[in-house]
């Protein structure tokens, strides 16, 4: 959520910034609500002051033995007015909150303009895409050839966009997850964290998935409802909800492996083949909670940690800065890492690393105590995939294939597979 003071002090700036996202902000409606809020808040405060003053007069009259009934009648009348004013103020504030929760984050100045992914800016590339002397197969064909990747069985058990992995491929995915966790903990200084896979609405509201993206979530039938997590970002970032973090403990760095669940309501007809876009998938997530002045450097660092995994696996990739129209709702700035998939002949997203600045923290009321002022201030939050395990599995399968359809195991993963170097 954006700072309400920014709207009150410089509404033109807010409008200008939101236009970069092609977000239609109803400034007239906001101004109308804000005017009503101010007026009723002043009225409420005046009524409270008058009631307090009358109450003191009653006390004095009672002490002097005077008849206080006329004064009591006046206070009762004021009480009814005050209750009505407080109710009206609460309704206006609810409307203001609803409006503010639907407004995206203001973009960092370094984010390029543009409407969609065509305007994203490539920052760098690492590794050379493999040049095979045979026609490269995609992961679906390779999975069928070596066995253990069954989409029909996934559909039978659940529905389309589910898969069953068995044997060496299931073990390979587990090896990837373990390798990522070990690297981020031992080399990058993250604290491994285990969290619930079900969260309440307050947690999703804190990170920005609710109310705007409810259609993308799987809701569990209970009252109040729970939701299957779309990413570990939600439960892990909520660790600091309503907390004041000690400055000496910052930055907080968490790494967490979870399954993720997404309805993909807005992705009808996209990536229907294979494991690219599933309702259930595995991910190793990186989350950092930092001081505001450190978030820009932390963003580069976190992205570099995700890049390290790709380099160790020797998977060619490129780093892309997302443009205004392609940057997520809560993010101020996002880098995507896109891995080369020879079976498709394209780079595909495998990690998205974002700096949310204080946007999530304001919703979460996540703060740190500044030792210079002694006062609580909002933290900055960041997160990124380090990496998405399913897509990393796809990348390994396609980049390490040979002409016979076998899959050679990357050297760094062999210790996790008992020395197996080829899946066939």
Helix axes 27-63, 11-19, angle to 10 degrees: 140
Pairing of strands 244-245, 367-369: parallel
Dihedral of alpha carbons 401, 405, 411, 414, sign: positive
Known binding site: residues? 231-233, 262-264, 285, 349-352, 383, 385
The number of beta carbons lying within 10 Å of the beta carbon of residue 289 is: 28
Q: Which residues contact 171 (CB under 8 A, 6 or more apart)?
A: 417
Query: Using CA atoms, how far apart are residues 78 and 71, in angstroms rounded to an integer?
Result: 11
Relative orientation angle of helices 389-399 and 139-146, to the nearest 10 degrees: 80
Which residues have a Cβ under 8 Å from the Cβ of 26 and sit 6 or more positions away? 99
Cβ(207)–Cβ(237) below 8 Å: yes
Sheet of 226-228: strands edge to edge?
Answer: 198-200, 226-228, 218-220
Question: Is 122 strand, coil or helix?
Answer: strand
Candidates 170, 234, 166, 162; CA nearest to 205 is 234
d(CA 383, CA 351): 10
Contact predicate 236/284, CB 8 Å: no
Residues 6 or more apart from 7 whose CB is under 8 A from it? Answer: 14, 30, 34
Count the Cβ atoms, other than its own, within 10 Å of residue 116.
12
Check: CB of residue 222 under 8 Å from CB of residue 260: no
Q: Give the other-Cβ count within 10 Å of 375's Cβ.
A: 9
Bind-site residues for L-serine: 231-233, 262, 285, 383, 385
Binding residues for ATP: 262-264, 349-352
């Amino acid at each position: 959520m954006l700072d309400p003071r920014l709207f009150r002090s410089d509404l033109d700036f807010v409008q200008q910034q939101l236009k970069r996202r092609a977000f239609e902000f109803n400034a007239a409606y906001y101004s109308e609500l804000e005017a009503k809020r101010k007026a009723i808040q002043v009225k409420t405060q005046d009524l409270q002051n008058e009631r307090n003053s009358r109450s003191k007069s009653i006390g004095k009259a009672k002490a002097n033995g005077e008849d206080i009934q006329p004064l009591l009648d006046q206070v009762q009348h004021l009480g009814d007015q005050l209750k009505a004013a407080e109710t009206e103020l609460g309704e206006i504030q609810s409307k203001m909150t609803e409006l503010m929760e639907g407004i995206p984050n203001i973009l960092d100045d370094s984010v390029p303009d543009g409407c969609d992914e065509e305007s994203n800016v490539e920052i760098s590339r690492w590794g050379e895409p493999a040049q095979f002397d045979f026609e490269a197969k995609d992961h679906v064909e390779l999975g069928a050839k070596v066995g253990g990747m069954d989409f029909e069985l996934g559909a039978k058990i659940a529905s389309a966009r589910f898969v069953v992995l068995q044997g060496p491929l299931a073990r390979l995915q587990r090896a990837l997850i373990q390798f990522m966790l070990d690297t981020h903990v031992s080399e990058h200084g993250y604290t491994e964290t285990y969290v619930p896979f079900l969260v309440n609405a307050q947690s999703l509201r804190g990170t920005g998935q609710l109310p705007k993206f409810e259609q993308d979530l799987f809701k569990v039938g209970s009252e109040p409802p729970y939701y299957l997590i779309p990413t570990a970002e939600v439960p892990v970032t909520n660790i600091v909800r309503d907390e004041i973090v000690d400055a000496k403990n910052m930055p907080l760095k968490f790494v967490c492996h979870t399954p993720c669940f997404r309805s993909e309501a807005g992705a009808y007809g996209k990536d229907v083949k294979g494991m690219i876009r599933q309702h259930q998938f595995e991910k190793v997530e990186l989350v950092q909670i930092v001081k505001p002045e450190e978030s820009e450097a932390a963003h580069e660092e976190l992205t570099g940690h995700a890049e390290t995994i790709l380099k160790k696996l020797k998977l060619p990739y490129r780093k892309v800065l997302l443009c205004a129209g392609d940057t997520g709702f809560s993010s101020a700035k996002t880098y995507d890492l896109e891995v080369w998939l020879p079976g498709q002949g394209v780079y595909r997203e495998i990690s998205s690393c974002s700096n949310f600045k204080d946007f999530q923290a304001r919703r979460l009321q996540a703060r740190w105590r500044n030792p210079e002022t002694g006062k609580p201030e909002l933290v900055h939050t960041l997160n990124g995939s380090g990496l998405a395990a399913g897509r990393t599995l796809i990348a390994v399968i396609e980049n390490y294939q040979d002409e016979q359809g076998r899959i050679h195991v990357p050297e760094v993963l062999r210790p996790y597979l008992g020395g197996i170097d080829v899946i066939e």
